[in-house]
Amino acid sequence: MSRALHIGFIPLIDAAALIVAVDKGFAKAEGLDVTLAREVSWSNVRDKLNIGLFDAAHLLAPVAIASSLGVGHVKVPIVAPLNLGLNGNAITASPELHAAILHELEGDRFDPMATARALARVVAARRRSGAEPLTFGMTFPFSTHNYQLRFWMAAGGVDPDEDVRMVVLPPPYMVESLASKQVDAFCVGDPWNSIAVDRGVGCILHFASDILLRAAEKVLAVRQSWAERNREVLAALIRAAFHAAEFSGQPENRAEVAHILAHPDRIGVHPDVIERTLAGRLNISADGTVRESRNYLLIGRDGAARPDPVQAAWLYAQMARWKQTSLSRAALDAAMAVFRPDLYDAALGRSAAAGALESTEQIGAFAGPTFDPGDLQTYLAAFGKPESTKG
Amino acid sequence: MGAEFPPKEPSPKIVIVDESPIRAAILEEGLREAGFTGVVHISEMQSLLQRIYALDPDVILIDLENPSRDILEQMFQVSRAVRRPIAMFVDQSDAASIQASVDAGVSAYIVDGLKKERVKPILDLCVSRFNAFAKLQDELDRAKSALEDRKVIDRAKGILMKLKGLTEDEAYVLLRSTAMREKKKISEIAQSILTASELLK
């Protein structure tokens, strides 16, 4: 008899492993009868997972950590035994802001330090002329998008809490908000960056992989209590998602995966946009300029699926850096314990040593010292408080 | 229990964020009947935070179908965009009421400091009105689909009468017996007749 599971997801391309697991039969092969529920907000996904309406979810990695720590919301310990995707975000700016940054640019346009410094000059010029502060959209307070934008601009000397406005926007509203000038730029996963470019209302300024080489993005999340009571089922779910992720990561399967994801009940956008994203080949401006990077979105390759507690530590460090929580050893340990490579290895029948070989433990940030989870205080002190661009 | 406030406490200011005008009206009416006089409905999601800050509510109610719910989560943060943090109605001991509100499809955000006893009746009322609305919607959908079915069946009967020279009653009996034999709904058989006749035109 197959086991019925309810799994929530947000229509984004990094939900691919779950959608393909269900629609291509990987879940069924593991004896799982999965019903996917498309949700409209991360708050809903979190709450429905927390109270048990969902058995598992496609979740922002920082939300899994915040929920486990009880930061910003009810404390419900979550475990993440598999990464659904690494990277996959981009920073897209309005054509006006994009041009202003390029105008101030000294150096390579894909060098995030050069663009961040250029942004600082744009911000300073706007203040001198009495213009409104720039507004940046991101998807959730506890999101990689929030931390990636902040990390980037702070490196150039822009204080994200003082010099600009950071606002939460649901991904489906991003493009419209950029078009109507409610925001000047945003950081979001795809398809939304590509849709903004295709509509001629935005230019992709950075792939988030310019900022961090490897960043845990969405995880397969389950309640810790559920994981303990349903070990076999969870192992089956990990295997189904793993095989679906591997399938999705193969270049020869891209067209089929794009077709599956494009279905109106799943992501509901044109398969071409999805295929471009899976290939890491994006149009970055309306004139048809294409940029390609194999690091743009990592699903099912380069050891992307195995959760790495160092990634959890980095995200926790960002929460502390931006005053969402305070720094403590106990909280750091709890954050790192959310990411469970042991469950991943066990489900796939691998030894821990073999599993560890699969991961390349690095964050690869473009600024600051090498990340050391053993000494967050020193790591964070290296960034200091960003020098405000105020005169 | 109802709204048994000590007479001196003013009614808390409540904002309803809902794109469904009917559901918002049902909820607003319920709240007013229960003595909550300061109720404002926001249906326009643009600049939602600014609108909310301008109204400065004590309680914010939002439907769960609304993607803008994530925007409200930002109110717990301190930043340039959010000058005054707001807490969520988080009562770790009261799992049942959280469950009830999620089931009903509504979520509440509460300004820090408002007492739990004051929030509870608002939330309870909200849950019951949301459930009432869902039931109403369900009935409406069913009535609509029954009407659609009847139209399809009438057209299929017409086709059968014309093609096979049957009376209306005979056409209906034929539809019904075919449906029983194939274990389908009469409207499904009727629909396939319409589709076939389209194809054969």
The domain that holds B78 is classified in CATH as: 3.40.190
Q: Are both A148 and A182 inside the same structural domain?
A: yes
Among A62, A7, A347, CA closest to A218: A62
Q: How far apart are CA B81 and CA B48, in angstroms?
A: 12
Last residue of a domain, one of A191, A214, A237: A214
Distance (Å) from the C-alpha of residue A269 to the closest C-alpha of chain B? 18
Q: Are strands B14-17 and B39-42 parallel, antiparallel or unpaired?
A: parallel
Note whether residue A280 is domain-resident: no
**Sheet of A135-138: strands edge to edge?**
A165-168, A135-138, A185-189, A89-93, A203-207
Interface contact flag, B46 A141, Cβ < 8 Å: no
Cβ contacts of A111 within 8 Å, gap of 6 or more: A210, A366
Q: Which residues of A touch B92 (CB under 8 A)?
A: 74-75
Q: Which residues of A touch B76 (CB under 8 A)?
A: 72, 141
Q: Which residues of A touch B98 (CB under 8 A)?
A: 47, 51, 74
The 10 Å Cβ neighbour count of residue A388 is 15
- Name the interface residues of B facing A (CB cutoff 8 Å): 45-47, 49, 64-74, 76-81, 88, 90, 92, 95, 98-99, 102-103, 107
Q: Which residue of B has its CA nearest to A40?
A: B67
Q: What is the domain extent for residue B36?
A: 14-139
How many Cβ pairs within 8 Å bridge chains A and B?
82
Instruction: Print pLDDT tens along chain A (391 aa).
Output: 589 999 999 999 999 999 999 999 999 999 999 999 999 999 999 999 998 999 999 999 999 999 999 987 788 999 999 999 999 999 999 999 999 999 999 999 999 999 999 999 999 999 999 999 999 999 999 999 999 999 999 999 999 999 999 999 988 889 999 999 999 999 999 899 999 999 999 999 999 999 999 999 999 999 999 999 999 999 999 999 999 999 999 999 999 999 999 999 999 999 999 999 999 999 999 898 999 999 999 999 989 999 999 999 999 999 999 999 999 999 999 999 999 999 999 999 988 777 776 656 588 999 999 998 999 999 999 998 654 444 3
Angle, alpha carbons B152-B158-B160 (nearest 5°): 105
Q: Which helix (H) or strand (E) holds A258?
A: helix A254-262
Q: Coil, helix or strand for A203? A: strand
B132 and B189 belong to one structural domain: no
Nearest CA to A243 out of A220, A209, A215 is that of: A220
Neighbours of A124 (CB within 10 A): 18
Q: What pTM was computed for the model?
A: 0.86
A235: CB partners within 8 A, 6+ apart: A343, A346, A347
Asked if A143 contacts A243 with a C-beta cutoff of 8 angstroms, the reply is no
User: What span, in angstroms and rounded, lies between the C-alpha atoms of B177 and A246?
Assistant: 51
- For residue B129, the distance in angstroms to the closest alpha carbon of chain A comes to 20
The pLDDT tens digits along chain B (201 residues) read 444 554 456 788 899 999 888 889 989 999 999 899 889 999 888 888 888 888 888 888 999 888 898 988 887 765 555 555 555 555 555 667 778 888 888 888 877 666 767 777 888 888 888 888 888 888 888 888 888 999 999 999 999 999 999 999 999 999 999 999 999 999 999 999 999 988 887
Q: Are A248 and A300 in contact (CB under 8 A)?
A: yes
B99 and B181: one domain?
Answer: no
Report the chain A residue with the minimal C-alpha distance to residue B65: A40
C-alpha–C-alpha distance, residues B172 and A224, integer Å = 57
Residues A128 and A35 in one domain: no
Taking an 8 Å cut-off on Cβ atoms, the answer to whether B73 and A164 are in contact is no
- Where on the phi/psi map is residue A87: left (φ > 0), alpha (ψ -120 to 50), or beta? left
Query: Taking an 8 Å Cβ-Cβ cutoff, which residues of chain A contact chain B?
Result: 40-44, 47-48, 51, 53, 72-75, 133, 135, 139-141, 160-162, 164-170, 172-173, 180, 182, 323-324
CATH at residue A162: 3.40.190.10
Question: Could you give the CA distance from residue B79 to residue A167 in angstroms, rounded to a whole number?
Answer: 9
